[in-house]
Structure 1
């Protein structure tokens, strides 16, 4: 197996989710720091359009979205598991809620003027403006809470999490599950990156203690790596054979045959499409083959849940 390369940036909440999982599974990885906002030419050379953070690269295989990245890491390093029985289904369901509802609630709270002033306090005003404009472009059609409404919801969610921790060190048991990592990263951003607003956490000391246990997991063994080197790794590699994947059933929900030219896009945030030849449509993910002049031939993998597939019309 080629070494894992994570394309991320330090203040990205979803990257913190994956960095902690890499630590939990005692994995070594290479770190490529990408820009917070577009343009991201080196990342797009690998993904073909997808520009959300983070992206996991293994040779010429490019994995997008943390829901899929977590499944890949679980397959490569099954223990300790992210999906313990008998709460596997509950853990996945709560993680999905956390990545969508809890995350956007926390971000609406964090991005009020007081939070923005801290997050971008040492940067020129144009940096904050570029970030806000970039995220607005990525969030077309996405409903956004006002900070006051977000604060009320955030407090309720924190109380519910505290209730889950009454008799347990982690949200669903004695060990962390995907639920813990998905619920942690939005709170991490409040506590670490928007700490001027972190008083909201003080009413739930059990949650703060749990956050300390999660933070203590660490990020595993990391080595700095350049974007140019990551692209060179892709160009020198071949995508892994699809028959070696753990989920190789063709599940046709669209009437689109394998080998068709297609686009896959996020349903909501970050709708930029990735276009390529449909190589797999399993029950969990899509695989697109595409060729880039720098990265060579790569397979880009995206989840099914939260993404749309459509055929590209040819002349």
Structure 2
């Protein structure tokens, strides 16, 4: 099997989710650190426009979005499963809630003025300004952001609900962590990093104990790599998907082989253009070619992403 290459940065919450899953699966991986904000030329040449963090590269296949990455890692290493029976559906639904509703409430609390000031305390003022402008462009007015006071109430309620789930078991749905645990953990992990806002976690000691168990999983075995090495690996490889479903599901009236674009529904609205080579019940795959990287396949989950026929030039 080709190396697993995670393109990420250290303080990215969704990257922490994937790093922990890699640790839980005991899968060795290569680490390519990418910028937190644009420009990201080495990212864009591999993904064709997708700029959210992280993405997973295996040869010349690029897997976008942590939900899809989790499915790939589950295929590579089914034990211990992220999707246990009979809670398989529940684990996915809870994970989707955590990656969206919980995440945005937590981040509104985390990056309130005092939290943001601490995060960027050691950086020049222009760094904080550039970060804010970058994230504003990613939503482009398409998302309603919670104010810190509203986020506080919501976040406290969500933490209490998580605490209730941990009353009689060590993890959210049972005796072992599942995809719901990894998805709920990462926004709380970001809170814990910021001294001025982390006190909110103290209201739910069962959640803190659970976080300690999650953190103890670790990131597994990793090796530093570079964007140049990753691009060379992609150029030398031939796309070969690890996504197991292949039946064409046409919900758009767009045939395979069509020129299309894919973008996120609400955050990270940059479009990735390419040729549609797969549209299944769970994912889309676009083929792209360039001189620098050769032919790559870029994979997106269906949920949370928008497929459109490319407009004629």
TM-score (norm 1): 0.98
Residues of 1 paired with 2:93 and 2:36: CA distance?
Answer: 28
Shift of residue 314 of structure 1? Answer: 3.0
Partner residue in 1 for 2:186? 185
- What is the CA deviation profile of residues 61-99 of structure 1, one whole-angstrom value per residue up to 9, with x for unaligned ones? 000000100001101111110000010100000000000
Q: Does 1:101 align with 2:75?
A: no
Residues of 2 paired with 1:312 and 1:131: CA distance?
Answer: 30
**Number of matched residues?**
312
Partner residue in 1 for 2:248? 250
Q: Does 1:158 align with 2:165?
A: no
Which of 265, 269, 272 does residue 271 from structure 1 map onto? 269
Q: How does 1:3-152 map to 2 (within 5 A)?
A: 3-140=3-140, 141-152=142-153
Q: How does 1:200-211 map to 2 (within 5 A)?
A: 200-211=200-211
Moved over 4 A (4+): none
State whether residues 46 and 292 of structure 1, in contact with CA within 8 Å, keep that contact through their aligned partners in structure 2: no
Residues of 2 paired with 1:305 and 1:165: CA distance?
Answer: 28
Residues of 2 paired with 1:102 and 1:312: CA distance?
Answer: 33
Shift of residue 293 of structure 1? Answer: 2.0
Residues of 1 paired with 2:291 and 2:147: CA distance?
Answer: 44
State whether residues 48 and 272 of structure 2, in contact with CA within 8 Å, keep that contact through their aligned partners in structure 1: yes
Partner residue in 1 for 2:258? 260
State whether residues 247 and 282 of structure 1, in contact with CA within 8 Å, keep that contact through their aligned partners in structure 2: yes
Partner residue in 2 for 1:289? 287
Shift of residue 245 of structure 1? Answer: 4.0
TM-score (norm 2): 0.98
- What is the CA deviation profile of residues 86-132 of structure 1, one whole-angstrom value per residue up to 9, with x for unaligned ones? 10100000000000000000000011111011101100000000000
* Unaligned stretches of 5+ residues in structure 1: none
State whether residues 4 and 28 of structure 1, in contact with CA within 8 Å, keep that contact through their aligned partners in structure 2: yes
Compute the RMSD of aligned alpha carbons.
0.8
Partner residue in 2 for 1:212? 212
Residues of 2 paired with 1:286 and 1:257: CA distance?
Answer: 12
Residues of 1 paired with 2:108 and 2:204: CA distance?
Answer: 20
State whether residues 72 and 243 of structure 2, in contact with CA within 8 Å, keep that contact through their aligned partners in structure 1: no
* Unaligned stretches of 5+ residues in structure 2: none
Shift of residue 31 of structure 1? Answer: 0.2
Residue aligned with 1:195, SS:
coil
